[in-house]
A and B are shown apart, each in its own frame.
Chain A
C-alpha cells in the first residue's frame, strides 16, 4: 500500500477516534436537558468528566495530522468552511467552559444557565461536524487552485442537513448507551426507556441517509461499482452491528450495546472513507478540481517520517488511553473532586 493511502487511513483513524470518543460527550450534552434533577445532571457530567478533555485531543491531533499529511486539504477545508468552523470552535470552547464552570457555584439559575450552554454547544457542535462531513460527500465548488468558491450557505443543503441530523442522532444514541453503563437504579431505568426513542431515531435516519447518498450522488455510485465487495461488506457489517444494538439493549447487555454503537460509528466512517477514496475533498460541479490523496499530500519523505512517528506514538496512546478508561470504569460516584 502506498504512503498516501496509509495516511488517508491514518487521518481517518484519528477522526474516527474523535467521533467514537467525543461522540458520547457531545451526545451527553444533547441529552442533559432531559433530566431535571441536579444530581442526575451531575452524574451525566461526571460520566464524561475525566475523559472529555482527552477525547477532544483526537480532533486536535486529527487536525495536526491532516496538516502534516495533506496540507492542501487542511488549507482548503478550513479556509473554505471558515464561518462554520469558527462556530464549531466557539461551540467547543463554550462546552469546555460549561463543564468547568457549572459546578463552581451551587445556585440553581447559574447551573441551569451552564446546562443550557452545554446542551446548545454540544448539539451545534455535532450538527456542524455533520454538515462538514455531508459536504465532503456531496462535493463543494472548488476552483482550479483548489480554493473553495462559496459561502456558509453553500454548505447548507437538504442532504448535508440530513447528514448532520443523522450524526446528532447517532451521538445521542451513543451517549444514551454510554450513560447506561455509567448509571444505576432509577436513572439507569429511565435511560433504558430513552433507548426506545434514540435507537429507532438513528436507525431511520441511517437508512434515509444511505438511500439519499446512493440516489443523489453519482460519484458515490461510481465508487460503489468499482469497490462493490469492499463497500458491500462494510455496509452489511454496519447494518448488522447497528440493528443488533436493539437486541442487546433488550437483553440489558449494555456493555456490548455501547461497543456495537462504537462499531456503528467506525463502520459509518469506513463507508464514508470508502465512498470518497481516493478523493479527500470532492469538487462539485467540477470533479477535476478535487483534492485527492496525491495532489493534496505532503512529499514522500514527509509522509514516511510522519508514518514512523505515528506507528510508534499511536499504539502508546491507545495503550494508556485504554488503561485510563479502565481506571475510571464502573458507575459514577460523586465526590469532592467531581464536577
Chain B
C-alpha cells in the first residue's frame, strides 16, 4: 500500500480514537460547572456527591484523552512532513496557542479538581472547575481554527524561498553556492499559483493576516457545530448513567437530578444543533461545493435539487475501471436541498429555484484549465473525477450523521415530555424502561454521529489537504517508508484496543460503584427490588 494511504489510515485511526474522549470532557466540563455551582448555591449534599462522582469519570476520560492526544501533536511532523513545511508558518500557531492557553489551563486545574477536595475551599474548587471547562473549550477552539484553515484557507499568500547573494542575484534553494554568503528571501507568488510537487520544500503558505487566518470563512460555523456536538455527547453520558441507575433502582435521588440535567442540556443542544447544522451546510455549499455535492451524491447541476434521505451512491466506471460518474439509488425529497442552500424557508417556491452545482461541473472548467492547460475539453471532463472526494463514503457518513442527529432531537424531546408529565420516574412501566435503556446506549449514537460528521468533513475535503491549494498526495513525509507506517499502525492498534477495553471496564466499574454518600435503595418498585430488601427476607 502507498505511504499516502497508510498515513491517512494512521491519522484517521489515531484521531478517531482520540476524538471519542475530548467531546465527553468538553460536554461534561460544562455540566460539572453547573453541578458545582448548584453545590455552592444550595449546599445540597446530593450535588456534592454528584460532583465527586462525575469528577472521577472526568479524570479517567481526560487521562485517556491526553494519552491519545499526544500523538496528534506530532503526527503532522512524523507522517506529513511536506505538509508541515508547507503550512507551518500559519498552521503551527494555533497548535502552539492551544498548548499555551488551553492544555496548561485544563491539566493544571484538573489537578485541583481531582485531588484538591481537601486542599482548597469549595469556592476555589468551583473556580478550578470553571477553568478546566474553559480550557477544554479553548482547546476545541484552536484545533477547529487549525482544521478550518485546511478547509477554507485565508489570510495567506504563497511564497517561494530563494537564496540571494550580496550582489542581489537570486538562486533556487537547492543551488550550491560554495562559500558565498547568502540570505534567504521569500518571493511572493501570484494569487492562484498552482503548487507543483517539485515546488515542495521551497514554496510555502506565508501568513498575511492572522485575524483572517484564524477567523477564516468556515471557523465559526464549524466551531459552533463541533462544540454543540460535544455538549450533546457530554449530556447524554450523564443521562445514560443516570438512566442506568434508575433502571437498577440505585442512587435514585442522584439519578433523578442528574438525568434532568443531562436530558435538559442534551435536548437544548440537539435543537441548537439543527440550526448550526443548517448554517454549516449552507457554508459548505458556498465554500466547498464539491463537498456538498458529495454529501448529497449530486451529479447534475440543477435547480429544485433534491435532498437524499437514505440510499446508496456508487461510482460509475467505464470498462477500464476509471470513474466516470455516479450511480445513485436514493430516496429523495424534491427541491429540499435547493431550499436549504438558499436559506429561503419563508418562500420555498423561490428557494427551490436556487441552482445547486453537481459533480458533473465541479470543480469548474476554469479551475481545471489552469491545472491542465494542454488538455482538450473531453480530456478535461475525464480528468474531473480526480478532483472529487470519495462520494460513496461521504454520502453515507453524512447521512448517518444527519439521521442520528434528527433521531437524537426526537429522543431527547420525548424524554423531556416524559419528565414533564412525571412518567419518566415510573421505572416499572415497560415503555419507560425501554426508553431508559435507549438513553443508556444513546452516547454511543452521539459518538457515531460525531465521528461520521468528521469523516464527512475530512473525506469530503479530499483530494486536498489544504482545499484547492495542496493535494494530500503531495503532503506526506518523503523519508518515511510504508513498512515503518505499517508497524506504527499495528502499534497504535494494539495500544488502542488495550486502552479501549480498559476504559470500558473501568468506566462500568465506576458507574457500578456509584456516587459516594450513597442513599439507601428505598422507593424501588417492589418487583425490581433486590431480594434481600423484600419483606420477609430480612435477616
Contact = CB atoms under 8 A, between A and B. Distances in A.
Contacts of A51: 111
B430 to A, nearest CB: 36
Interface string A43-61: 0000001110110110111
Contacts of B111: 50-51, 53-54, 324, 327-328
Contacts of B69: 60
Contacts of A320: 104-105, 108-109
A82 to B, nearest CB: 5
Given A67-B95, A96-B67, A309-B93, A77 B112 contact: no
Contact of B63 (A89, A94, A100, A144): A100
A299 B99 contact: no
A299 B67 contact: no
Contacts of B484: 82-83, 86
A104 B509 contact: yes
Interface in A273-310: 294-295, 298-299, 301-302, 305-306, 309-310
Interface of B: 60, 62-64, 66-71, 73-74, 76-79, 81-82, 84-85, 87-93, 95-101, 103-105, 107-112, 114-120, 174, 176, 184, 186, 201, 206-208, 210, 477-480, 484, 487-488, 491, 495, 498-499, 502, 506, 509, 516
Contacts of B110: 53-54
Nearest to B90: A302
Given A86-B491, A92-B70, A78 B81 contact: yes
Contacts, number: 223
Given A78-B78, A93-B71, 14 more contacts: A50-B114, A60-B69, A60-B99, A60-B103, A61-B100, A71-B89, A74-B84, A82-B488, A86-B488, A96-B67, A100-B63, A302-B93, A337-B115, A337-B117
Contacts of B77: 63, 67, 74-75, 77-79
Contacts of A301: 207-208, 210
9 interchain residue pairs of minimum CB distance: A71-B88, A78-B77, A61-B99, A68-B92, A67-B92, A79-B477, A96-B67, A64-B96, A50-B111
A302 B491 CA distance: 36
A299 B87 CA distance: 11
A159 interface: no
A56 B73 CA distance: 12
B78 A82 contact: yes
A233 interface: no
Interface residues of A, number: 71
Interface string A219-260: 000000000000000000000000000000000000000000
25 contacts: A57-B107, A59-B70, A65-B99, A68-B93, A74-B84, A77-B77, A78-B74, A83-B488, A85-B78, A93-B70, A96-B64, A96-B66, A97-B502, A101-B506, A144-B176, A146-B201, A298-B92, A299-B206, A301-B210, A306-B93, A317-B108, A328-B111, A337-B114, A337-B115, A337-B117
B477 A57 contact: no
A72 B267 CA distance: 46
A56 B186 contact: no
A208 interface: no
A305 B92 CA distance: 12
A294 B104 CA distance: 29
A117 B188 CA distance: 52
Interface core residue of A60, A69, A336 (most chain B CB under 10 Å)? A60
A189 B391 CA distance: 67
Given A53-B63, A93-B499, A327 B93 contact: no
Interface in A130-188: 144-149
B421 to A, nearest CB: 39
Given A79-B79, A309-B93, A71 B85 contact: yes
Contacts of A76: 81
B61 to A, nearest CB: 10
A39 interface: no
Contacts of B97: 64, 309, 313
Contact of A324 (B68, B84, B109): B109
Contacts of A101: 502, 506
A65 B502 contact: no
Contact of A75 (B82, B498, B502): B82
A96 to B, nearest CB: 4
A54 B108 contact: yes
Nearest to B183: A294
B207 A299 contact: yes
A5 interface: no
B99 A89 contact: no
Contacts of A99: 63
B81 A302 contact: no
A92 to B, nearest CB: 6
Nearest to B496: A93
B458 to A, nearest CB: 20
Contacts of B502: 97, 101
Interface core residue of A51, A68, A77 (most chain B CB under 10 Å)? A68
A314 interface: yes
Contacts of B64: 96, 100
A112 to B, nearest CB: 16
Contacts of A79: 77-79, 81, 477-480
B108 A89 contact: no
B201 A145 contact: yes
B71 A89 contact: yes
A12 interface: no
Contact of B67 (A97, A310, A313, A321): A97
B464 to A, nearest CB: 19
A56 to B, nearest CB: 7
A27 interface: no
Contacts of A327: 111-112, 116, 119-120
Contacts of A144: 174, 176
A147 to B, nearest CB: 5
